[in-house]
Structure 1
Amino acid sequence: MDVAAAQAVLDSSPFGSWWGFRVEALKEGWAKVALPQRPELFRPGGVLQGGCAMTLADVTCWIAIMSLSGADDPSVTQQMTTSFLGPARTDLMCEATIVRAGRLIVYGTAETTDTEGRLVSHHTLTYIRPPAPAAGSTPRT
Structure 2
Amino acid sequence: MSTITLEEFSRIAHKELPLLEVLGFNVERLEHGECTVRAIYKEDFLRPGGTVSGPVMMALADFAMWGAIMSRAGRVQMAVTSNLYINFLIRPEPGDIVAEAKVIKLGKRLAVGVVELFGNDQQNDLVAHVTCTYSLPPQPNN
Same topology, TM > 0.5: yes
Task: State the alpha-carbon separation in 1 of the partners of residues 106 and 32 from structure 2.
Answer: 12
Task: State the alpha-carbon separation in 2 of the partners of residues 33 and 100 from structure 1.
Answer: 20
Aligned to 2:8: 5
Report the count of equivalent residues.
Answer: 133
Aligned to 1:122: 129
Aligned to 2:108: 103
Partners of 2:79 and 2:137 within 8 A in 1: yes
Task: Give the Å deviation of 1:17.
Answer: 0.8
Partners of 2:77 and 2:139 within 8 A in 1: no
**SS of the residue 2:69 aligns to:** helix
Unaligned runs of 5+ in 1: 134-141
Closer, same or farther: CA 120–112 of 1 in aligned 2, 3 Å? same
* Structure 1 runs, 4 residues or longer, greater than 3 Å off: none
Aligned to 1:18: 22
Task: State the alpha-carbon separation in 1 of the partners of residues 104 and 76 from structure 2.
Answer: 20
Output the TM-score relative to the length of structure 1.
Answer: 0.88
Task: Give the Å deviation of 1:73.
Answer: 3.9
Partners of 1:28 and 1:64 within 8 A in 2: yes
Q: Does 1:42 align with 2:49?
A: no
Task: Give the Å deviation of 1:38.
Answer: 0.6
Unaligned runs of 5+ in 2: none
Partners of 1:10 and 1:17 within 8 A in 2: no
Output the TM-score relative to the length of structure 2.
Answer: 0.88
Q: What is the identity, as a one-letter code, of the residue corresponding to 1:131? A: P
Q: What is the identity, as a one-letter code, of the residue corresponding to 2:138? A: P
CA offsets 1:67-104 (integer angstroms, 9 cap, x no match):
01223443210001100001112100000000000000
CA offsets 1:6-53 (integer angstroms, 9 cap, x no match):
222222222111111100001000000000111111111111111111
Aligned to 1:79: 83
Partners of 2:108 and 2:138 within 8 A in 1: no
Partners of 1:66 and 1:73 within 8 A in 2: no
The root-mean-square deviation of aligned C-alpha atoms, in Å, is: 1.4
The share of aligned pairs that are identical, in percent, is 32
Task: State the alpha-carbon separation in 1 of the partners of residues 78 and 85 from structure 2.
Answer: 21
